[in-house]
Amino acid sequence: MFARVALIGMGLIGSSMALAMRRAGLAGEIVGAARSAATRDTALRLRLADAMFAEAAEAARGADLVVLATPIGAFGAIAAEIGEVLEAGAIVTDVGSVKGMVLRDVAPHLPLNVHLVPGHPVAGTEHSGPEAGFAELFENRWCILTPPDDAEAAAVDKVAELWRRMGAKVEIMPAQHHDLVLAITSHVPHLIAYNIVGTASDLETVTQSEVIKFSAGGFRDFTRIAASDPTMWRDVFLNNKEAVLEMLGRFVEDLTALQRAIRWGEGETLFDLFTHTRAIRRSIVEAGQETAVADFGRRQPAQGE
């Protein structure tokens, strides 16, 4: 599909894309850029890329597809750097978890003869770095594209096809709507997971060792989410402020009502909410976005143990 793909950033998402593109034969050549020599070495050792560069511009030179796959806070500087070397007709896409900011930070640095098609694969794990990737990460997951109004249809189609061939399903929507949807399905969940883990580690009446020992009652599932990369998530909250604050406001409103129901012993209110939420779980399993298997019990010693 592409002669030379440049992956700027070779962490979980960059390395998974490299593996998925290789498996499906989507790129003639894959090159990458990463800040650290360690990441560049690892990427070469794992054969994620044919060549690795310290400078994004070196990787982007001559590429017909450039993928920004660093934390989003770095996008602006990288766009400024590669803007100068991009070939006419090249496509620039990204995998960032916030999309409005791409149009704001990246678009102004790109020449007019280059196509910008922002994207976000809604898939991930709590691990990061070049060794965390795997070719199947995007399978059966959604990738959301948020092309600007004046995007060329052929470029959008090509990026959509790339994701489909990596196993993903593609949805197109405005960047602003993406940021609202992800605020509630990803950003606020991460924020409250980080928050509860922080709260639990700061108590005087319950020791840290008790929190750890008795974490199997639910808490440990939040720690998995709260183990996600700090830089990536700082950047998400700094760059999707309005939508996150709006959804957080709704969350807190609802929590206040729940708090009151507990205080006044309103069992029926609690029961009704707890019943309603089960149905959503069922829909997610039916939509193939989750498995129905019991997971708290951690029955099978999973791979990697």
* Binding segment toward ligand NAP, per CB under 6 A, in 34-42, 106-114, 177-185, 240-248: 34-42
**Binding span for ligand NAP by CB under 6 A among 90-98, 107-115, 265-273, 284-292:** 90-98
Q: Is 305 in the site for a second copy (CB under 8 A)?
A: yes
Interacting positions 124-153 with a second copy (CB under 8 A)? 124-127, 132, 134, 136-137, 141-142, 144
Stretch that binds ligand NAP, among 84-92, 121-129, 168-176, 275-283 (CB under 6 A): 121-129
Instruction: Check residue 72 for interaction with ligand NAP (CB under 6 A).
Output: yes
Q: How far is the CB of 266 from ligand NAP (least distance, A)?
A: 19
Nearer to a second copy among residue 113 and residue 231 (C-beta): 231
Q: How far is CA 292 from CA 58, 216, 282, in A?
A: 46, 19, 8
- 222 touches which of a second copy, ligand NAP, none (CB within 5 to 8 A by kind)? a second copy
Question: Can you give the length of the chain in residues?
Answer: 305
**The Cα angle at residue 90 between residues 143 and 50, in degrees rounded to 5:** 80
Tokens of 188: 């606020």
Residue number, 157 or 295, with CB nearest to a second copy: 295
Instruction: Tell me, residue by residue from 1 to 20, as one string, x for binding to ligand NAP by CB under 6 A and - for no binding.
Output: --------xxxxxx------
What is the pairing mode between strands 115-121 and 142-145?
A: antiparallel
Q: Which of residues 254-273 bind a second copy (CB under 8 A)?
A: 254-255, 258-259, 262-263, 265, 267, 270-271, 273
Beta-strand relationship, 115-121 and 91-94: parallel
Residue 175 engages ligand NAP in binding (rule: CB under 6 A)? no
Q: How far is the CB of 256 from ligand NAP (least distance, A)?
A: 25
Residue from 82, 106, 128, 141 that binds ligand NAP (CB under 6 A)? 128
Identify which of residues 260 and 281 has a Cβ nearer to ligand NAP in the complex: 281
Position among 35, 103, 148, 186 found at the interface with a second copy (CB under 8 A)? 186
**Closest by alpha carbon to 90, among 123, 125, 66, 57?**
66
- # residues near ligand NAP by CB under 6 A: 25
Q: Which residues bind ligand NAP (CB under 6 A)?
A: 9-14, 34-36, 39, 69-72, 74, 95-97, 120-121, 124, 128-129, 229, 232
